[in-house]
Structure 1
Amino acid sequence: MGRFAILFGKKAKSALRASEIQQDYQSPEVKCVETGSSRAEPGTLGIDAIDVMAQTIMRECTAWGMLSVDGKDALGGDTGICIRSKYGSIRSCPPERPGLEAFEAAVLSMNTKVALKMRSKSVEVAVRHHIDVAPELLELQLDANTRIQIMPSIEDLPLARKSQYAAFVREEDIIPMARSLEAALVKFLWSDEADQLNEKTIDSTSSVSPSSPELNSSEMVLPEISGDSEDPEKAAILAARRLRPVALIAPVATGCAAATAIILLSLGIRAPLIRWIYDGNAMRFALVAVLPLIFFVVMFPASVIISSALHLLGPVAQFHQNSANYSALKPPRDASISLLPITIQMPVYKESLEEVLIPTLESVQRATTVYERQGGIVNVIVCDDGLQLLSEADRARRVKYYRDHNVAYVARPPDGVDGFQRRGRFKKAGNLNHCNSLSLRIEDIRDEMRQWPQNAAEAAMDPWTEFDERNLYDSAFAKALDEHGGKTCAEGNVILLIDSDTRVPEDCFMDASMEMTQSPHVAIIQHSSGVMQVAHHFFENGVAFFTRNLQIGISFTAASGDGAPFVGHNAFLRWRALQECALPDPYDGIARIWSESHVSEDFQISLRLQSLGWTLRWATYSNNGFEEGVSLTCSDELARWQKYAYGCSEIIFNPIRYWPTRSPLTKLFRTFLASNIPPHAKYGIMGYIFSYYAISLACTASLANYVLIGVFAISDSFYCTSWNILFVCLLLCQGVTNLVMCILRYRLKLEHAGKDAIAQVKWIPHHSSVLRGILRWTVLAHHTVLHKSPVLDEHESVVKSNFFLQMPRIWRRFWIQIVLSVAVLAGLIVSTTSLTPAAYRVVTIEAIVPLALTYAFHLIWPFVLDTDITTFTF
């Protein structure tokens, strides 16, 4: 057996000075030959940048002693390097070496940028004393985070985990990477713990396989419990739940909030009761019929009051502990547990390749390298929904990047081509479903085509190999693709769903795999996210600060026992749970995971999963290593909030025109109410949903209040004026919540608490402006025939503009809002002057101020929050 080490990388780019390049041109002892579909003759290609890089690596390796000029090591074995010159072709050094032909063929199949076949004394000793003596070994574990895969022969290299190389190769980093591997091997061989590490090396019985059950390894780490021994899955779930107790702080707080809301409404009944005692008119009790509707609006402010008290006076130790719905501490890493295969799924649209997609994929590739060196398997798939909308040149550049970096991609055909329809209001769901449907069909075909052995003797005589699995997958893939009409995959026990503008921490996959294995009842692990800023102007800075506050608030409520949210990205999803919650589409009856008839498909799927008994978990142990982009313009932020409001409305209510035939409440919401989800979680979800209704009704309610108070002079004490509501909102939203957030940061011992307290006060005007100018008629649009929903498919990059370009854009985008606001404010001014008859003249401050503030903010909102307008860039 030859003792070789194969090093391969993603990139190799020469950083040589001109004098060094000239020196390489004159180096006659090193030549390259190109290999592709046919073998080229040496010397016919001349000298170019690829030759310069190959000669540089060859010279460095020769000086280090890994290679010789003629490509022969001390034992006569063939060694050398291969560099990809273009897709399907490589350059080899030394050229015309028969012993490198298998190596060249493997490198071509791997489509890696650069590969080095070396042999050194440390490699020789490692193979002889630790690999040859154990033929069953698949990986050699050098330390807790480094495993080197073992391949039977050069021909098996196409099955290698490409991201298990020591480092990405940038410029001349292939040499330091080879040296780091050499140093790691030497440290391993001379370590006193070499024997103990060798005993922990993963053998064939614990290799990672997509078909291996998820629960086999979890039983080894969970304590034994009494229960039904015939149902190991149920026993594992019960054991996992015992290890994660349910925090009861949030249920108690929710009960107090509900009691507070009931007390506030009871005070409303007190007024007509007193009036009835005096005048005996019982007709005013008809107003009590609206109290149930008011209760849902009061739910959110009542929760704010109680949660503020909890933040000030309640316990905070749970923020740093693990519980049923919250993970503050990383799961213990057990080397005996097989790591789960992970598929990274990234839906994209028409984002810039260089500015948005490439930085995200590079972040993903770094994390993939760490996980594969730890022994895991990672697949990356891009659901590119905008590929068919790009120009030929841009499309070719995207496809070339995917191909060069071993990134799988799925692109839906255009709408109407060969009968294909892009249905749905929010195309992300359809984009993901198109990819998942292909993956599901591949799994079904693979199960149908797999030939299981009849007995143990047959299995021993003809064992199933990785080549058999690869061939079976290729056949199933070809058949599934043919069934889809060639219009177009994801494989793995766990899916990491990210956005196109996400950053992923390097060492996060092992923790997710461990937690998913140890908690088989968890469907989604949603990670708290940091903020990735690109523009750094005042609007992005304000939204970024608001987002960080939101993450802290969610983390605290989840740690206290409230339900964990699913925000649609930076989350690990269990593939089996997604398959279980798939529902038939009412349009064609095909089961789909993501709802194409809902705008907030992430919120909808979280409700379905919880209704089926799955657990959602919020994790903070990544220390905000996951990063997400935020809105760069006020238009993007408006569309985002409108999407949330529209999605929440359509989850609860059917449009009004369907009430006679379908009832006001949707089937999903009725199922949610009847499910076994804890009552406090239901209350919190409904409070969150109806808060959008409260904000959306601001314009209509303030106008109605102006008419009732100013024109008709309604004075019934049962009626709560907009003036009182305005005072409560200012007190809670601009006063109490900001003070509480400053104190909470200090109590949680978060970094920069003092600095953030100053920023909390600084951003109050910005946050007030944003929240007072959003949503408008979104909820009304859902209930009427307008049925226009916002679309957020694309993450924009920074676009430079100026004052004269932005003014026409603002008018085209917001002209209805501007005209309506000006009309209302003009009418308000006129109604206070002598132009209005005295009987209809409005001078009451309780009527004027709420209406003026509401529509003034709607008028100035598009201008004061536009960075190109406020900076006066011409």
Structure 2
Amino acid sequence: MGFFKLGKKKGGDVEMTEKKADGTPLPPQWTPDAPVWPGSLASARGSTTDVSNSLGGLNGATFLDVKCEVMAQWLHSKQEEKIWTSGEPGEGVLVKKQKGSYAFSPATLIEDGSGLYESVTQLNARCAMTVNTRVLQLFMSARPDRHFIQIHRTLRLQVIPSLNELKHAQRHQSAAFIADTATLLVWEDEPTRLLERAEYIQDALMTMSWKPEPAEEGAVEKNSKKPFIKIEEYEETEEETGEEAPRKIVLWQCIYEAATLALLVGCLGAGWRWIAIEQIQDPNYMRMLFILVVPAQAWLGLFFFQALISDLAQLFGPVGHMERNTKYYSGKAPRRLHRDTFGPLPHVTIQMPVYKEGLRAVIEPTVRSIKQAISTYELQGGTANIFVNDDGMQLISPEEARARQDYYDENSIGWVARPKHNPKPAEGEREFVRRGKFKKASNMNYAMRLSVQVEEQLAGIRRHEQWNNHDEIDAYAVALQQVLDSRDGEAWAAGNIRMGDYILIIDSDTRVPNDCFLEAVSEMEQSPQVAILQYASGVMNVTNSFFENGITFFTNLIYTMIRFAVANGDVAPFVGHNAILRWSAIQNIGYECEQDGWEKWWSESTVSEDFDMALRLQAEGYIVRLGAYKDGGYEEGVSLTVYDELARWEKYAYGCNELIFHPFKDWIFKGPFTKLFRNFVCSNMPLHSKLTIMAYIGTYYALGSSWILTLMNYVIIGLYNGHLDHYYLDSFKIYFSIVIVFSAVGNVALAVLRYRIGECGLIRALWTNLKWIPLLTIFLGGVSMHVSQALVCHFFSIDMQWGATSKEVEDISFWTAALDVLKKFKYTLSFCFAIAAGMVCMAFVVPVDWQIRSLIACFPMGLVVANHVLLPTVLNPQLMTFTW
């Protein structure tokens, strides 16, 4: 159904409204997932030409204008129905048609001299409504001099002197009491939510003033509706000092790592036992050369033995500490700061780097989620701002750029956009370099540097005794313009780009809990040694494809393992998003870039800028902590296509190699190991954490080398089986061990762990784990050549570039998807078919003495070839949907 139904019932009446299941009338249909915002007007008008023409006699008004007019009239009728208006000037409803133009009701609102229309226009809200009731007047008269009114035990709503001050109100509170008229003004992004918010505020006021007796509380809760603003239960701290009690260090991970090393040394020793026996029976000191491969064996095998010990720990070890708070782990939410004791709550900046993601499909839902969290935090007494680092603004079309700018302006979002990458400019163009293989770090550095320059301008201003917030806003506008002028048009920026005490860094496809900022700043204030509070994330699914669901399972598995390891005493990782960063700590580790001389914070010389950041912070004495008490409330998007997931693994492999080794060309002058790796080895990070990180990095080398070693094994076992040293372990035995440890014991252990910590039932957990074994087997078995490609490219200084991960689904036909596979995987598929042909020849064509037919030689090689062929085909949703 469209905006309203243009049809007749049998009785001849026009159907103008819909009804909910309970019979309550709905407003004229205003779809929340397709709100009106400036910049979408052209597309909206273009798609409704026929409809608007059919309406005739509307004085040329567009269909969008009609929708806004009808919505304003409907809301005003509901306002009158609920007796929220007395008919006095300055009361009514406004719905935005485009910037600076609103539909309104009653018709006299724009000329009544109240200034409501002008004030809402300056606020640039999408829609607004006044509420004037006797109850509100009584509350306002009882608190005439307050700057806020308590509407909940933890929430307070702002009071502004008059409508003239509305433009300086805290926008994200979405409501304000107007002192001089004793009314309430509510504004929202969605008109249909205006009524809900207004009702919530009035109900909350009544609940605060007329609290039920203890015997009645159960009945009130039982009959109450779902709260409009969800506030979590918590403890507040009112002590004079906000610091928490010292947290204990857990040593279970040390014990597990010791067992891992013992098992590793034992297995290596068993191999050398065979060498000793053979050396006695058949002396040949060439066997001693096996010692050269021991370091590689130990490194590549470390994760295998670590996984085995971890499986046993999940099955039989303690798990109670996953619900407790320790040095590197928070299993329980902190005691929240009490604003009356600590004064103004810290300011939080939400930093969101974006590229060319869709405004409507990707950015807007994320901003909507953030705004809900900011609204809660502002009602709790805090302040926050959104800071978008838009790396696509100067690359997209002018129409799309204008739409983004209008959207940012409408939602009080500060943003910075830098020029396109242009290292070799043509005549009349300006040179500009976007440094780094992965541009996220340089994008954030550029935006943060602009923010710091604005702060430097503001620091030079002399503030008089009567300096107020209005003066600060005016000074900021001047400072920002001066900084932009100094860039001579290079940088684009607008809105509030100042950095707060803490930074929540998120991706463009993120969802955050409604009530999260107060907990985060409380923990950071109580733990000044914490530089990064990384939250364990859930997954936000965009589609229902089997591949995305499989990657969702794998992502949840990884976060469960991270929670288990960190709760056991390991150092928390920093994954680069869904984390709170202490701005003062980030400033302490700033460095001067050798290429351009600018101060920077994120490393632009490595793909793994998050690991580099965490390591430099820990070298300065800070710690990284994992917050696991939000139950997956922070959500992140995962790869939607096999191409994106492969690119992610390639980027990680490249980044890991980049962290440890210099390219071969630099080994003569700089040595094989990077300064970052040397700093890591010599850092004060616990030894068991270093071993865990090295085991993780080693997995990429194990994956990258697996197809090469399997090919060697095919030749060696196929031609020389029975003549090999007993120290050599063939691929078939290794494959069998991997199946036992990872596919069998690992999945059972994970299911038992999730059952023990109360995440889900045992049978359900087992079934969930088992059903994704085929997908993960094909994927992990088919990434080997791609991972090795990334490692080789770094070693040989071959350039590799990765763009932003796709956030939106692209529907294409089967034949287009097939052509994409052939284009992107032509070398991999050609190599696989060549190997397969070679195996057939070695089995049937060559002389009998050279034939290779044994199972232990052919099976591992055949599995590698099959997985590499199946990866881009069977695991490709665009191909497997068979859309013609």
Q: 1:53 to 1:796 in 2, by over 3 A?
A: closer
Aligned match of 2:724 in 715, 727, 747?
Answer: 715
Aligned match of 1:422 in 408, 421, 434?
Answer: 434
Question: Could you report, residue by residue, the CA deviation over 1:36-95 in whole angstroms, capped at 9, with x for unpaired residues?
Answer: xxxxxxx99999554444444445444544433352xxxxxx545554442134466534
Q: Give yes or no for contact 1:269–1:288 (8 Å, CA) kept in 2.
A: no
Mapped partners of 1:48, 1:765: distance in 2: 54
Q: Give yes or no for contact 1:84–1:114 (8 Å, CA) kept in 2.
A: yes
What is aligned with 1:391?
397
Q: Give yes or no for contact 2:160–2:166 (8 Å, CA) kept in 1.
A: yes
What is aligned with 2:874?
864
Q: Give yes or no for contact 2:731–2:860 (8 Å, CA) kept in 1.
A: yes
CA displacement at 1:819 relative to structure 2:
0.6
**RMSD over aligned Cα atoms:** 2.8
Q: 1:149 to 1:855 in 2, by over 3 A?
A: same
Mapped partners of 1:840, 1:412: distance in 2: 62
Secondary structure, in 3 states, of the residue corresponding to 1:150? strand
Aligned match of 1:749 in 743, 758, 773?
Answer: 758
Structure 2: stretches of 5+ with no match in the other structure: 7-12, 18-57, 176-186, 214-235, 423-428
Aligned match of 1:601 in 589, 597, 609?
Answer: 609
Secondary structure, in 3 states, of the residue corresponding to 1:419? coil
Secondary structure, in 3 states, of the residue corresponding to 2:624? strand
Are 2:532 and 1:524 aligned?
A: yes
CA displacement at 1:254 relative to structure 2:
1.3
What is aligned with 2:366?
360
Secondary structure, in 3 states, of the residue corresponding to 1:380? strand
Mapped partners of 2:743, 2:199: distance in 1: 58
Aligned match of 2:292 in 274, 289, 292?
Answer: 289
Written as runs of structure 1 = structure 2, the 5 A alignment for 1:34-433 is: 48-71=66-89, 79-90=91-102, 94-95=108-109, 97=111, 99-101=113-115, 103-132=116-145, 137-165=146-174, 168=188, 170-190=190-210, 221=239, 240=244, 242-335=245-338, 336-337=341-342, 338-416=344-422, 417-433=429-445
Structure 1: stretches of 5+ with no match in the other structure: 1-12, 22-42, 72-77, 194-217, 224-235, 454-461
Mapped partners of 2:634, 2:551: distance in 1: 17
Question: Could you report, residue by residue, the CA deviation over 1:159-197 in whole angstroms, capped at 9, with x for unpaired residues?
Answer: 21111126735334434433433333344344599xxxx
The amino acid across from 1:551 in the alignment is Y
Mapped partners of 1:663, 1:811: distance in 2: 40
Mapped partners of 2:469, 2:330: distance in 1: 36
Question: Could you report, residue by residue, the CA deviation over 1:94-137 in whole angstroms, capped at 9, with x for unpaired residues?
Answer: 34657423x444333321223345544333333333343xxxx4
CA displacement at 1:654 relative to structure 2:
0.8
Q: Give yes or no for contact 1:645–1:778 (8 Å, CA) kept in 2.
A: no
Secondary structure, in 3 states, of the residue corresponding to 1:378? strand
What is aligned with 2:487?
484
Secondary structure, in 3 states, of the residue corresponding to 2:552? helix
What is aligned with 2:789?
778
Q: Give yes or no for contact 2:249–2:569 (8 Å, CA) kept in 1.
A: yes
Q: Give yes or no for contact 1:649–1:782 (8 Å, CA) kept in 2.
A: no
Q: Give yes or no for contact 2:454–2:480 (8 Å, CA) kept in 1.
A: yes
Are 2:451 and 1:439 aligned?
A: yes
The amino acid across from 2:205 in the alignment is L
Secondary structure, in 3 states, of the residue corresponding to 1:347? strand
Q: 1:560 to 1:90 in 2, by over 3 A?
A: same
Q: 1:345 to 1:725 in 2, by over 3 A?
A: same
What TM-score, normalized by structure 2, do the two folds share? 0.83
Q: 1:448 to 1:811 in 2, by over 3 A?
A: same
Question: Could you report, residue by residue, the CA deviation over 1:524-566 in whole angstroms, capped at 9, with x for unpaired residues?
Answer: 2222222222221221222212222222111111111112112
Q: Give yes or no for contact 2:86–2:132 (8 Å, CA) kept in 1.
A: no
Secondary structure, in 3 states, of the residue corresponding to 2:160? coil
Secondary structure, in 3 states, of the residue corresponding to 1:115? strand
Are 2:800 and 1:798 aligned?
A: no
- Residues 184-193 or 809-818, more deviating: 184-193
Mapped partners of 1:114, 1:328: distance in 2: 41
Written as runs of structure 1 = structure 2, the 5 A alignment for 1:784-823 is: 784-785=795-796, 787-823=798-834
Mapped partners of 1:673, 1:131: distance in 2: 63
Aligned match of 1:571 in 571, 579, 596?
Answer: 579
The amino acid across from 2:200 in the alignment is S
Are 2:668 and 1:660 aligned?
A: yes
CA displacement at 1:678 relative to structure 2:
0.9
CA displacement at 1:521 relative to structure 2:
1.4
Mapped partners of 1:476, 1:369: distance in 2: 28
Q: Give yes or no for contact 2:651–2:790 (8 Å, CA) kept in 1.
A: no
CA displacement at 1:798 relative to structure 2:
1.7
Mapped partners of 2:789, 2:355: distance in 1: 24
Are 2:621 and 1:613 aligned?
A: yes
Mapped partners of 2:324, 2:588: distance in 1: 30
Q: 1:716 to 1:431 in 2, by over 3 A?
A: same
The amino acid across from 2:259 in the alignment is C
Q: 1:438 to 1:817 in 2, by over 3 A?
A: same
Q: 1:632 to 1:313 in 2, by over 3 A?
A: same
Aligned match of 1:761 in 763, 766, 770?
Answer: 770
Aligned match of 1:582 in 587, 590, 602?
Answer: 590
Q: Give yes or no for contact 2:506–2:579 (8 Å, CA) kept in 1.
A: yes
The amino acid across from 2:401 in the alignment is R
CA displacement at 1:700 relative to structure 2:
1.0
What is aligned with 1:502?
510
Mapped partners of 2:302, 2:142: distance in 1: 69
The ranges of structure 1 where at least 4 consecutive aligned residues each deviate by more than 6 angstroms after the TM superposition are 13-21, 43-47
CA displacement at 1:638 relative to structure 2:
1.0
Mapped partners of 1:127, 1:494: distance in 2: 34
Secondary structure, in 3 states, of the residue corresponding to 1:100? coil
Question: Could you report, residue by residue, the CA deviation over 1:392-424 in whole angstroms, capped at 9, with x for unpaired residues?
Answer: 333333333222222222222122252222221
Mapped partners of 2:803, 2:262: distance in 1: 38
Q: Give yes or no for contact 1:803–1:868 (8 Å, CA) kept in 2.
A: yes
Aligned match of 1:547 in 555, 565, 589?
Answer: 555
Mapped partners of 1:14, 1:450: distance in 2: 57
Q: Give yes or no for contact 1:168–1:366 (8 Å, CA) kept in 2.
A: no
- Residues 169-178 or 740-749, more deviating: 169-178
Aligned match of 2:855 in 839, 842, 845?
Answer: 845
Q: Give yes or no for contact 2:151–2:201 (8 Å, CA) kept in 1.
A: no
Mapped partners of 2:569, 2:591: distance in 1: 29
Aligned match of 1:449 in 461, 473, 478?
Answer: 461
Q: Give yes or no for contact 1:501–1:795 (8 Å, CA) kept in 2.
A: no
The amino acid across from 2:579 in the alignment is A
Identity of aligned residues (%): 35
Q: 1:292 to 1:372 in 2, by over 3 A?
A: same
